[in-house]
Copies of this chain bind each other. A is one copy, B any other.
Amino acid sequence: MVSKSQIKDVKALHLKKYRDESRFFIAEGTKIVTEVLSTYPEIIHELFATKSFIEQNSKILNSKLKLNIVTEQELERISAQSNPNQVLAVCHFFSLAKPSFDFKNNFSFYLDDIRDPGNLGTILRIADWFGINEIYASESSTEIYNQKVIQSAMGAFLRVRVHYILLDEVLNNIQCPVYGAVLNGKNIYKETLQNGLIIIGNEANGINKNNLSKITHPLTIPAATTNHTESLNAAMAASIISAEFFRQLKS
C-alpha cells in the first residue's frame, strides 16, 4: 500500500529538478533492481515491489531495507515506464570521489554535449564492457540519473562513474593524447593508438568549436563509399572507436 504523499514524492523524481534537490533517483524493473540489490544495495533508499518480486528475491532482500509492498496498479502510478516490471527502487545519488584522471591503464571518453539519454546509456554500457570505470562529460550533457539513461545503461551505471567537468579541467590534469571523433580526421585503423582521452561530440553538431582545437589526434571511422549515411550516431561511433582502442591496446 502506498500513500498519496509517497506517490507524489516518487513521481517528483521523474523530474531532474526534484532529483537534484533530493539527491535521489529511480531505477526500475527486475533485471536492473536485482543487480543493484546484489552488487550495490547501499544506494537503495526505498523499494516498491510486488509480492511476487519479494517472494522470488528473498535471498537478496536485506531486512534493513525500507520495503513497500505494492500492487501492479500502484506500481503503474509511480513508474515512469510504459510497462512497469514488478519493482521500483528509489536510490541515493552516488557519492562521487574526485576524478582520478588515470590514463595509465585505459582510455576514456569526454562527452561533449551528448543530449540523448539512450546514447549516454549505451556509452555507459560500452565503457563498462571495455573496462572503463570513469568517464567525463560537459555540464550540458544529459545527467546520468535521467531514467532513460538508467534504464538503457542496465547495470553499467553502477560501475562507470561520470564526472561532469570542463574539458579544460580534464586537460590540465592529464598528459596523454587527446583524440576526437570527427569527419575529416585520420583513419583510425592506420593510427597507432595509445591510452588517451577520446572526445565524442553532440549528436547534431559534433564537437564544440572551442574544443576542436584541443584535439591532438583527430580520428575518423572510414566508410565504404561516399554515398552513405552522413555520419554514425554518437553511440555507434563510441562503440566502434572503443573496440579499436581495445583491440590495439589490450586484445
Q: Are B228 and A129 in contact (CB under 8 A)?
A: yes
Q: Is residue A1 contacting chain B, with contact meaning CB distance below 8 A? A: no
Q: Is residue A85 contacting chain B, with contact meaning CB distance below 8 A? A: no
Q: Are A225 and B131 in contact (CB under 8 A)?
A: yes
How near does chain B come to A105, taking the closest CB pair, in angstroms? 10
Q: Mark A122-151, 1 if CB is under 8 A from B, else 0.
A: 100110111110000000000000000000
Q: Are B232 and A126 in contact (CB under 8 A)?
A: yes
CB neighbours (8 Å) of A243 from chain B are 221, 240, 243-244
Knowing A243-B244, A244-B243 touch, does A130 contact B232 (C-beta < 8 A)?
Answer: no
Q: Are A232 and B159 in contact (CB under 8 A)?
A: no
Cα distance A159–B122 when bound, in Å? 26
Cα distance A129–B236 when bound, in Å? 11
Taking a contact as CB atoms closer than 8 A, the residue among B130, B235, B240 that contacts A223 in the complex is B130
Cα distance A192–B132 when bound, in Å? 27
Q: Are B236 and A250 in contact (CB under 8 A)?
A: no
Q: Are B229 and A129 in contact (CB under 8 A)?
A: yes
Q: Are A189 and B129 in contact (CB under 8 A)?
A: no
**Chain A residues with a Cβ under 8 A of chain B:** 106, 118, 122, 125-126, 128-132, 154-156, 159, 187, 189-190, 221-225, 227-230, 232-233, 235-236, 239-240, 243-244, 246-247, 250-251
